[in-house]
Amino acid sequence: MVPEINGKETKKSKLIANPNCTTAIGLMALWPLIQKFGCKRVIMSTYQAASGAGQPGMDELKDGTKVWLEGGSPENKTFAYPLPFNVIPQIDKFQDNGYTKEEMKVTWETRKICGLPDDFPVSCSAVRIPTIRAHSEVIIMETEKPVDIAEARKVLDAASGVKLVDDTANLKYPMPLTATGQYDVEVGRLRKSLVFGDYGIEFFVSGDQLLRGAALNAVLVGEEMVNNGALKSKAKA
Protein backbone atom coordinates (compact mmCIF):
# COMPACT_ATOMS: atom_id res chain seq x y z
CA MET A 1 0.00 0.00 0.00
CA VAL A 2 0.98 3.57 -0.79
CA PRO A 3 -1.61 5.70 1.08
CA GLU A 4 -1.70 8.48 -1.52
CA ILE A 5 -2.68 5.93 -4.16
CA ASN A 6 -4.73 3.11 -2.62
CA GLY A 7 -5.23 4.19 0.98
CA LYS A 8 -8.92 3.28 0.79
CA GLU A 9 -7.88 -0.37 0.80
CA THR A 10 -7.08 -0.06 4.52
CA LYS A 11 -10.84 -0.19 5.15
CA LYS A 12 -10.85 -3.80 3.97
CA SER A 13 -8.15 -5.25 6.20
CA LYS A 14 -6.09 -4.61 9.32
CA LEU A 15 -3.12 -6.50 7.87
CA ILE A 16 -1.34 -4.16 5.45
CA ALA A 17 1.98 -4.76 3.64
CA ASN A 18 4.55 -2.07 2.94
CA PRO A 19 5.55 -2.21 -0.73
CA ASN A 20 8.99 -2.75 -2.15
CA CYS A 21 10.92 0.49 -1.59
CA THR A 22 11.72 0.94 -5.28
CA THR A 23 8.07 0.55 -6.21
CA ALA A 24 6.91 3.02 -3.55
CA ILE A 25 9.34 5.72 -4.73
CA GLY A 26 8.52 5.33 -8.40
CA LEU A 27 4.76 5.23 -7.95
CA MET A 28 4.73 8.55 -6.10
CA ALA A 29 5.63 10.19 -9.43
CA LEU A 30 4.01 7.69 -11.75
CA TRP A 31 0.51 7.69 -10.27
CA PRO A 32 -0.32 11.39 -10.79
CA LEU A 33 0.76 11.05 -14.43
CA ILE A 34 -1.30 7.89 -14.90
CA GLN A 35 -4.33 9.77 -13.62
CA LYS A 36 -3.68 12.71 -15.95
CA PHE A 37 -2.65 11.02 -19.19
CA GLY A 38 -3.54 7.34 -18.79
CA CYS A 39 -0.95 4.63 -19.31
CA LYS A 40 -0.35 1.77 -21.75
CA ARG A 41 3.00 0.52 -20.48
CA VAL A 42 5.87 1.37 -18.11
CA ILE A 43 9.60 0.74 -18.47
CA MET A 44 11.78 1.41 -15.45
CA SER A 45 15.51 1.33 -14.73
CA THR A 46 16.62 1.68 -11.12
CA TYR A 47 19.84 2.83 -9.48
CA GLN A 48 19.65 1.50 -5.94
CA ALA A 49 21.80 2.50 -3.00
CA ALA A 50 23.74 0.18 -0.72
CA SER A 51 21.30 0.89 2.11
CA GLY A 52 18.73 -1.19 0.25
CA ALA A 53 20.68 -4.16 1.65
CA GLY A 54 20.53 -2.74 5.19
CA GLN A 55 23.36 -1.75 7.50
CA PRO A 56 25.62 -4.58 6.28
CA GLY A 57 25.37 -3.20 2.74
CA MET A 58 26.26 0.33 3.82
CA ASP A 59 29.16 -0.92 5.95
CA GLU A 60 30.49 -3.05 3.11
CA LEU A 61 30.48 -0.07 0.74
CA LYS A 62 32.17 2.25 3.25
CA ASP A 63 34.80 -0.26 4.31
CA GLY A 64 35.41 -1.46 0.77
CA THR A 65 35.86 2.08 -0.55
CA LYS A 66 38.51 2.74 2.10
CA VAL A 67 40.31 -0.49 1.20
CA TRP A 68 40.17 0.34 -2.52
CA LEU A 69 41.53 3.86 -2.01
CA GLU A 70 44.41 2.41 -0.01
CA GLY A 71 45.31 0.12 -2.89
CA GLY A 72 43.71 -3.07 -1.57
CA SER A 73 41.03 -5.43 -2.88
CA PRO A 74 37.61 -4.95 -1.23
CA GLU A 75 35.78 -8.00 0.08
CA ASN A 76 32.15 -8.71 -0.71
CA LYS A 77 29.83 -10.66 1.56
CA THR A 78 26.55 -8.78 1.19
CA PHE A 79 26.76 -8.15 -2.55
CA ALA A 80 27.63 -10.54 -5.39
CA TYR A 81 30.70 -8.46 -6.24
CA PRO A 82 32.60 -5.57 -4.62
CA LEU A 83 30.43 -2.45 -4.91
CA PRO A 84 32.98 0.42 -4.58
CA PHE A 85 33.48 2.10 -8.00
CA ASN A 86 31.27 -0.56 -9.55
CA VAL A 87 27.64 -1.19 -10.49
CA ILE A 88 25.99 -4.59 -10.11
CA PRO A 89 23.05 -5.44 -12.42
CA GLN A 90 21.57 -7.86 -9.92
CA ILE A 91 19.38 -7.27 -6.86
CA ASP A 92 17.92 -10.43 -5.30
CA LYS A 93 17.81 -13.82 -7.04
CA PHE A 94 17.29 -14.41 -10.74
CA GLN A 95 13.95 -15.88 -11.76
CA ASP A 96 13.18 -18.35 -14.57
CA ASN A 97 12.23 -15.48 -16.90
CA GLY A 98 15.65 -13.82 -16.55
CA TYR A 99 14.43 -10.99 -14.32
CA THR A 100 15.45 -10.78 -10.67
CA LYS A 101 12.92 -11.03 -7.87
CA GLU A 102 13.48 -7.31 -7.13
CA GLU A 103 12.55 -6.46 -10.72
CA MET A 104 9.47 -8.65 -10.62
CA LYS A 105 8.35 -7.06 -7.35
CA VAL A 106 8.17 -3.73 -9.19
CA THR A 107 5.98 -5.31 -11.87
CA TRP A 108 3.67 -7.16 -9.48
CA GLU A 109 3.30 -4.34 -6.97
CA THR A 110 2.82 -1.58 -9.54
CA ARG A 111 -0.11 -3.49 -10.98
CA LYS A 112 -1.60 -4.20 -7.57
CA ILE A 113 -1.21 -0.77 -5.98
CA CYS A 114 -2.44 1.12 -9.05
CA GLY A 115 -5.33 -1.26 -9.68
CA LEU A 116 -4.02 -2.26 -13.12
CA PRO A 117 -4.77 -5.55 -14.91
CA ASP A 118 -2.65 -8.58 -14.03
CA ASP A 119 -1.14 -8.57 -17.51
CA PHE A 120 -0.45 -4.82 -17.67
CA PRO A 121 3.02 -4.33 -19.23
CA VAL A 122 5.53 -3.17 -16.59
CA SER A 123 9.23 -3.94 -16.98
CA CYS A 124 12.12 -3.12 -14.65
CA SER A 125 15.91 -3.45 -14.64
CA ALA A 126 17.37 -3.02 -11.14
CA VAL A 127 21.01 -2.07 -10.57
CA ARG A 128 22.95 -1.64 -7.33
CA ILE A 129 25.17 1.45 -7.35
CA PRO A 130 27.86 2.68 -4.92
CA THR A 131 25.83 5.31 -3.09
CA ILE A 132 24.94 5.08 0.59
CA ARG A 133 21.31 6.13 0.60
CA ALA A 134 18.35 7.04 -1.67
CA HIS A 135 17.26 5.10 -4.74
CA SER A 136 16.92 6.68 -8.19
CA GLU A 137 14.91 5.60 -11.21
CA VAL A 138 14.42 6.38 -14.86
CA ILE A 139 10.77 5.87 -15.74
CA ILE A 140 9.35 5.76 -19.27
CA MET A 141 5.58 5.76 -19.84
CA GLU A 142 3.60 5.19 -22.97
CA THR A 143 0.40 7.17 -22.39
CA GLU A 144 -3.17 6.93 -23.63
CA LYS A 145 -3.52 10.70 -24.13
CA PRO A 146 -1.07 13.15 -25.73
CA VAL A 147 1.44 14.45 -23.21
CA ASP A 148 1.80 18.14 -22.44
CA ILE A 149 5.03 18.57 -20.47
CA ALA A 150 3.88 21.84 -18.90
CA GLU A 151 0.73 20.10 -17.65
CA ALA A 152 2.80 17.19 -16.41
CA ARG A 153 4.93 19.58 -14.35
CA LYS A 154 1.80 21.17 -12.86
CA VAL A 155 0.39 17.77 -11.92
CA LEU A 156 3.59 16.68 -10.21
CA ASP A 157 4.09 20.04 -8.52
CA ALA A 158 0.65 19.69 -6.94
CA ALA A 159 1.03 16.03 -5.96
CA SER A 160 1.32 15.13 -2.28
CA GLY A 161 4.67 13.61 -1.35
CA VAL A 162 6.35 14.83 -4.54
CA LYS A 163 8.89 17.61 -5.01
CA LEU A 164 9.33 18.89 -8.55
CA VAL A 165 13.03 19.50 -9.26
CA ASP A 166 13.06 20.20 -12.98
CA ASP A 167 15.17 23.16 -14.06
CA THR A 168 17.83 21.84 -16.40
CA ALA A 169 18.85 25.37 -17.45
CA ASN A 170 20.20 25.78 -13.92
CA LEU A 171 21.27 22.13 -13.53
CA LYS A 172 18.47 21.36 -11.08
CA TYR A 173 17.31 17.74 -11.13
CA PRO A 174 16.74 14.87 -8.67
CA MET A 175 19.78 13.26 -7.06
CA PRO A 176 20.45 10.95 -4.11
CA LEU A 177 22.54 13.77 -2.64
CA THR A 178 19.51 16.04 -2.31
CA ALA A 179 16.82 13.36 -1.80
CA THR A 180 18.53 11.77 1.21
CA GLY A 181 16.71 12.58 4.44
CA GLN A 182 13.73 14.10 2.63
CA TYR A 183 10.14 12.90 3.04
CA ASP A 184 9.18 13.89 -0.51
CA VAL A 185 10.28 12.10 -3.66
CA GLU A 186 12.17 14.33 -6.10
CA VAL A 187 11.03 14.25 -9.73
CA GLY A 188 12.62 15.96 -12.73
CA ARG A 189 14.16 15.66 -16.21
CA LEU A 190 10.64 15.60 -17.65
CA ARG A 191 10.60 15.23 -21.41
CA LYS A 192 8.58 13.72 -24.22
CA SER A 193 9.78 10.28 -25.17
CA LEU A 194 11.70 9.97 -28.43
CA VAL A 195 10.32 6.43 -28.69
CA PHE A 196 6.62 7.10 -28.03
CA GLY A 197 6.47 10.70 -29.24
CA ASP A 198 3.44 12.70 -28.14
CA TYR A 199 2.16 9.64 -26.32
CA GLY A 200 5.15 9.17 -24.09
CA ILE A 201 7.00 10.81 -21.23
CA GLU A 202 10.35 10.13 -19.55
CA PHE A 203 11.54 11.39 -16.19
CA PHE A 204 14.01 10.83 -13.35
CA VAL A 205 13.14 10.14 -9.72
CA SER A 206 15.18 10.08 -6.49
CA GLY A 207 13.78 9.18 -3.09
CA ASP A 208 15.01 8.17 0.33
CA GLN A 209 13.99 4.52 0.42
CA LEU A 210 14.49 4.31 4.18
CA LEU A 211 11.71 6.90 4.52
CA ARG A 212 9.31 6.92 1.57
CA GLY A 213 9.99 3.28 0.80
CA ALA A 214 9.95 2.00 4.36
CA ALA A 215 9.48 3.75 7.71
CA LEU A 216 7.62 6.86 6.52
CA ASN A 217 5.27 4.87 4.32
CA ALA A 218 4.48 2.55 7.24
CA VAL A 219 3.66 5.52 9.47
CA LEU A 220 1.43 7.02 6.77
CA VAL A 221 -0.38 3.69 6.40
CA GLY A 222 -1.02 3.66 10.15
CA GLU A 223 -2.33 7.21 10.07
CA GLU A 224 -4.59 6.32 7.15
CA MET A 225 -6.00 3.38 9.10
CA VAL A 226 -6.70 5.57 12.13
CA ASN A 227 -8.33 8.27 9.99
CA ASN A 228 -10.70 5.88 8.25
CA GLY A 229 -11.56 3.98 11.42
CA ALA A 230 -9.76 0.76 10.57
CA LEU A 231 -7.79 0.92 13.82
CA LYS A 232 -10.54 2.46 15.97
CA SER A 233 -11.30 -0.62 18.06
CA LYS A 234 -7.62 -1.41 18.48
CA ALA A 235 -6.85 2.15 19.62
CA LYS A 236 -9.55 1.95 22.29
CA ALA A 237 -8.15 -1.32 23.56
CA–CA separation, 26 vs 161, rounded Å? Answer: 12
Which residues carry out catalysis? 21, 135
